[in-house]
Amino acid sequence: MKAKLVIATTALLVVGLLVAAAASGAFVAIYRNALETTAQRSEVLKLSGKSCTRGGGRTTLNITVGKLTEECAYKTPVVGSDLEIAVTGTISSATPPAVAKKAFLGLQLRAGGGSKLELRVFPGQKKAQLARITQEGIKFLAVKKDIASLKEGKAVVLRLRAISGAGEAAGTCKVGGYLAGELVVEAEDPTCGELKGETTALSAGAPNNGVGVVAGFAAIVVRTPVRF
């Protein structure tokens, strides 16, 4: 009975959150991780990458990309199809300058089975990309260049959102990439429904060869949309 009471109480709290969010048309945060302690960082596990090393700064999760590796990705405990994930990321000064110029910080949704949606942000190039990546290769859904807010070596708050279409738009989804709260890249993906993965992740690397990239991450938030 006690277990059932806890479940019922939790359900009521969730309903309350959804009602409050519905009134404002907002997303509801379902997971937060400040990445400030060893216990918090241990919740984020390796998803992909041949040679990847993780470590902890005083308040960050640090990722180092090794030899013969383009990208290292680490997953959160949250799974689902329609979600929003945000994190604060930095390309560390420990990254060699030539590598830092082409390095990216990434967020992934619907990852799994060799496919994913990904936001890639290149501070050294002042560029952001939205991509659908499958075993057949990478398709860029949207690209934005000359983003003034991006500065090499500076922290950036990046956010990726994917929402399924309904009715005649079923099987599609709207994908948006945000920097510091501003929508900078968006697209409608007509084949989004073919992606069966549900993993959420953060990543770092560089096209073709990311060896030497060192990235720091803090303050992960995952949100779910409210439908009413």
Residue-range domain boundaries for the chain: 27-225
Q: Which two tokens stand for residue 145?
A: 């260049």
CA distance 205 to 99: 9
Q: pLDDT (tens digit, 9 = 90+) per residue, 47-62? A: 999 999 998 878 899 9
Q: pLDDT (tens digit, 9 = 90+) per residue, 180-213? A: 999 999 999 999 888 999 999 999 999 999 999 9
Q: Which two tokens stand for residue 47?
A: 């998803």
Who contacts 32 (Cβ-Cβ below 8 Å, separation ≥6)? 219, 220, 221, 222
Fold of 27-225: Jelly Rolls (2.60.120)
CA distance 204 to 199: 16
pTM confidence score: 0.87
Cβ neighbours of 80 (radius 10 Å)? 14
Query: What SS3 class is residue 143?
Result: strand
The amino acid at residue 212 is: G
Does position 10 have pLDDT exceeding 80, yes or no? no
DSSP of 181-207: TEEEEEEEETTGGG----EEEEEEE-S
Please count the residues of the chain: 228
CA distance 179 to 128: 9
Mean pLDDT score, 148-171: 91
Q: With beta carbons less than 8 A apart as the criterion, state whether 195 and 110 touch.
A: yes
Confidence of residue 228 (pLDDT cuts 50, 70, 90): low
Q: Higher-confidence residue: 16 or 123?
A: 123
pLDDT in the model for residue 27: 87
Q: Higher-confidence residue: 125 or 228?
A: 125
